[in-house]
Amino acid sequence: MTKFKHLVYRLGQEPKTSLKRFFSGLGLFVIAASLIVYGYFNSHYFQIAGLVLLPIALYFAIYGYLGIFANRFSQVIAKVDESAKNRDIF
């Protein structure tokens, strides 16, 4: 459990950076999807560029979302740990 806590705390320690990564990935995803759709009606080279850009966009979006989720989850873990310390058995 301590390795999991360490991973969650490390991923969630910079929520603003995670949010920037998520929005960057989301923007790149929109660009990639637009290129794929544009390439459907015009040259197929636009589709290829969109397909190359798509995994990069998904990487940034997923990594950013994991950071946001880890930040929220680390707050929950901290509250549970704090309440476990102050818990009285009787």
pLDDT tens digits, residue range 16-39? 888 899 999 999 999 999 999 999
Query: For position 80, what pLDDT does the model report?
Result: 73
CB 36 within 8 A of CB 47: yes
The answer as to whether 42 is a domain residue is yes
The answer as to whether 45 is a domain residue is yes
pTM: 0.76
Query: For position 50, what pLDDT does the model report?
Result: 94
Query: For position 5, what pLDDT does the model report?
Result: 73
Query: What is the rounded average pLDDT of the residues 39-57?
Result: 93
Query: What is the rounded average pLDDT of the residues 1-12?
Result: 73
The answer as to whether 88 is a domain residue is no
**Containing structural domain, residue 26:** 17-82
Percent of the chain with pLDDT over 70: 88
CB 29 within 8 A of CB 82: no
The answer as to whether 26 is a domain residue is yes
The answer as to whether 1 is a domain residue is no
The answer as to whether 4 is a domain residue is no
pLDDT band, residue 90 (cuts 50/70/90): low
Domain count, the chain: 1
The answer as to whether 7 is a domain residue is no
Helix (H/G/I), strand (E/B), else coil: 86: coil
The answer as to whether 71 is a domain residue is yes
Q: Which residues of 17-53 are buried (b: 16+ CB within 10 A; e: fewer)?
A: ebeebbebbeebbeebeebbeebeeeeeebbebbeeb
